[in-house]
Copies of this chain bind each other. A is one copy, B any other.
Amino acid sequence: MIYFDNAATSWPKPEEVYQGVSTFMRRAGANPGRGGHRLAQEAAAMVEETRQALAKFLGVKNAKQVVFTSNATEALNLGIKGVLVPGDHVVTTSMEHNSVLRPLHYLQRDGISYTIVAADSEGYVCPEKVENAVQSNTKLIIMTHASNVTGTVMPIVEVGQWARERGLLFLVDGAQTVGELAVDLSQLPVDLLAFPGHKALLGPTGTGALFIRDGLVLQPLLVGGTGVESELAGQPEEMPYRYESGTLNTTGLAGLQAALNYHQKLGQSAISATISALTNRFIQGCSMIPRVTIYGPKEKAVERTGVVSLNIQGLNPDELGFILDEVYGIAVRAGLHCAPQAHKTIGTYPAGTVRFSFSVFNNIEQVDTAVEALQEIAEQSGG
């Protein structure tokens, strides 16, 4: 089995992650709590160490600004619902995942409106287009850091700077970048960054986080027990507990801690370069195959992630995905990838594309095998 579905969730995880989860569960799997017994303290220490490691990884000075969530979707829901009030307007892009577009669609019932800025055919959104869509009541700009369909990296620096100058909030969906591309929040003009722990960060499912810029106070999404200030009738104000009600996924966070150690060991630049090299080789190989259409940026390697969408003329994406899995043992994802507007943008709606997405656990041989497989399939289906 060759696994090229890392944009859905990375697999395998580093051995350290398996070990980290197992060791925590077996040895100290208690519920974190201040002033509790030693196992509870050990669990609390693990959670805070993981928060520190994640903050450091992202260039965040104060770890309290990193709030744990169960996935990127929860982080996006918290970020979006947490800042918007009736009458607000949002600008976003056609390359967003349903985890952005559906919350916005949903919030229309609360008198919140939004404008979707169309990307070009390669999935790129011009900053000027975003700027032109801003209205007098615009409060928030939401942009994916990179498309989960085309891998296109968005101009978040330009858009973020422009937003900051105008006092607009800027929320970035880092689902496809955190762990794959360098993300240094000490340099980026970003107010909110949502991301999962289980994709390029190589942690377990059930983990994710929202970075909240210093000074920004959101309405919490979940309210309840926080383990701090239990006597208060209302939700505590203190970061990060204000946004972390209920028992955290400590099991998953132990795995995420191990994953962050693994990242540090390999180094972000080595990880980025490896995935980029595999992606370029794959695109180059596929470009030679007649009747294969590759979507997204093809020339400028630095401006895309390790996500490649393609189709073979005359084959439905579902069929192609099925053949790759059944005949070649290659795991990819076919369809709309929870991003229907992105497929409308690149002209692949409603059937979608077949998406290949790479991780550091992939290698050149696997990429070449996939290119050969696509060549065979293209020849056969065209014959």
Task: Please report A residues at the B interface, Cβ cutoff 8 Å.
Answer: 1, 3, 5, 8-9, 11-13, 17-18, 21-22, 25-26, 29-31, 33, 35-40, 70-74, 76-77, 97-103, 105-106, 196, 198, 204-206, 208, 220-227, 230-235, 245-252, 255, 318, 321-322, 324-325, 330-340, 349-350
A225/B8 contact (C-beta < 8 A), A30-B331, A205-B250, A230-B335 known = no
Task: Please measure, in the bound complex, the distance between the C-alpha atom of A109 and the C-alpha atom of B223, giving whole angstroms.
Answer: 14
A99/B25 contact (C-beta < 8 A), A3-B30, A37-B321, A249-B206 known = no
Contact status A230-B73, CB under 8 Å: no
Chain B residues lying within 8 Å of A77, measured Cβ to Cβ, are 221-224, 245
Contact status A333-B105, CB under 8 Å: no
A3, A225, A340 interface centre (most CB from chain B within 10 Å) = A225
User: Can you offer 10 A-B residue contacts whose CB atoms are under 8 A?
Assistant: A1-B39, A5-B31, A36-B321, A40-B331, A72-B247, A77-B224, A102-B235, A105-B235, A208-B246, A221-B222
Task: Please measure, in the bound complex, the distance between the C-alpha atom of A350 and the C-alpha atom of B204, giving whole angstroms.
Answer: 39
Chain B residues lying within 8 Å of A17, measured Cβ to Cβ, are 25
The chain B residue sitting closest to A331, CB to CB, is B37
Contact status A97-B225, CB under 8 Å: yes
The chain B residue sitting closest to A204, CB to CB, is B251
Chain B residues lying within 8 Å of A249, measured Cβ to Cβ, are 70-71, 204-206, 249, 252
Distance in Å: Cβ of A300 to nearest Cβ of chain B = 28
Which of B18, B98, B330 has a CB less than 8 Å from the CB of A225?
B98
Chain B residues lying within 8 Å of A204, measured Cβ to Cβ, are 25, 249, 251
Copies in the assembly, this chain: 2
Chain B residues lying within 8 Å of A221, measured Cβ to Cβ, are 77, 221-222
Distance in Å: Cβ of A328 to nearest Cβ of chain B = 11
Task: Please measure, in the bound complex, the distance between the C-alpha atom of A101 and the C-alpha atom of B206, giving whole angstroms.
Answer: 26
Contact status A350-B231, CB under 8 Å: yes
Which of B9, B18, B38, B247 has a CB less than 8 Å from the CB of A9?
B247
Contact status A102-B21, CB under 8 Å: no
Task: Please measure, in the bound complex, the distance between the C-alpha atom of A220 and the C-alpha atom of B98, giving whole angstroms.
Answer: 14
Distance in Å: Cβ of A88 to nearest Cβ of chain B = 17
Task: Please measure, in the bound complex, the distance between the C-alpha atom of A70 and the C-alpha atom of B33, giving whole angstroms.
Answer: 18
The chain B residue sitting closest to A247, CB to CB, is B71
The chain B residue sitting closest to A350, CB to CB, is B231
Task: Please measure, in the bound complex, the distance between the C-alpha atom of A322 and the C-alpha atom of B36, giving whole angstroms.
Answer: 8
Contact status B12-A29, CB under 8 Å: yes
Contact status A206-B8, CB under 8 Å: no
Given A11-B39, A40-B331, A98-B224, 16 more A-B residue pairs with CB atoms under 8 Å apart are A5-B36, A9-B247, A18-B22, A70-B246, A71-B247, A72-B246, A73-B245, A73-B246, A77-B221, A77-B224, A106-B220, A205-B247, A206-B251, A231-B340, A231-B350, A251-B251
Chain B residues lying within 8 Å of A233, measured Cβ to Cβ, are 101-102, 105, 340
